Amino acid sequence: MKVVIVGGVAGGASSAARIRRLDEHAQIIMIERSGYVSYANCGLPYYVGGVIKEQEELTMQTPESFWDRFRIDVRVRQEVTAINPAEKTVTVRGLDSGKSYTETYDKLLLAPGAKPTVPALSGVDSERVFTLRTVEDTLSIRRFVEEQKPKTAVLAGGGFIGLEMAENLVEMGVSVTIVQRPKQLLAPLDTDMASFVHAEMRRHGVALRLRETVTGFRQDGDSVLTLLEESEPLRSDMVLLAIGVTPDTHLAKEAGLELGIRGSIAVNERMETSVPDIYAVGDAVEVTHFVTGQKALISLAGPANKQGRIAADNICGGNSHFHGSQGSSVLKLFSLTAASTGINEKAAQAAGIAYDRVVLFPASHATYYPGAQSMAMKVLYEKESLRLLGAQIVGGDGVDKRIDVLATAIRAKMTALQLTELDLSYAPPYSSAKDPVNMAGFMIEDLESGKVRQFHWNEVEDLPCDGNATLLDVRTEGEYRRGHLNGFRNIPLDDLREHLDELDRGKPVYVNCQTGLRSYLACRLLTQYGFTCAHLSGGYSFYQVVTQEQQTARSAYPCGMEKV
C-alpha separations of 520 from 53, 359, 419, 526 in Å? 49, 12, 19, 10
Phi/psi at 214 (5° precision)? -80, 130
322, 296 contact by CB (below 8 A): no
Question: What span, in angstroms and rounded, lies between the C-alpha atoms of 49 and 370?
Answer: 31
Rounded Cα distance between 156 and 118, Å, is 10
**Catalytic status, residue 533:** no
Determine the Cα–Cα distance for residues 329 and 356; give it in Å rounded to an integer.
22
Residue 390's SS3 state is strand
Contact by Cβ (8 Å): 19, 316: yes
DSSP state of 264: P
Report the candidate in 329, 378, 330 with the shortest Cα–Cα distance to residue 355. 378
Q: Which residues contact 530 (CB under 8 A, 6 or more apart)?
A: 505
Going by the DSSP 8-state scheme, the letter that residue 286 receives in this structure is -
For residue 402, which of 369, 382, 430 has the smallest C-alpha distance?
Answer: 430
Rg over CA atoms, the chain: 27
Q: Which of 42, 513, 523, 533 is catalytic?
A: 42
Q: At what angle do helices 191-203 and 160-171 cross, to 10 degrees?
A: 20
**Number of neighbouring beta carbons within 10 Å of residue 252:** 27
Residue pair 193/542 in contact by the 8 Å Cβ criterion = no
- Residues annotated as catalytic are 42
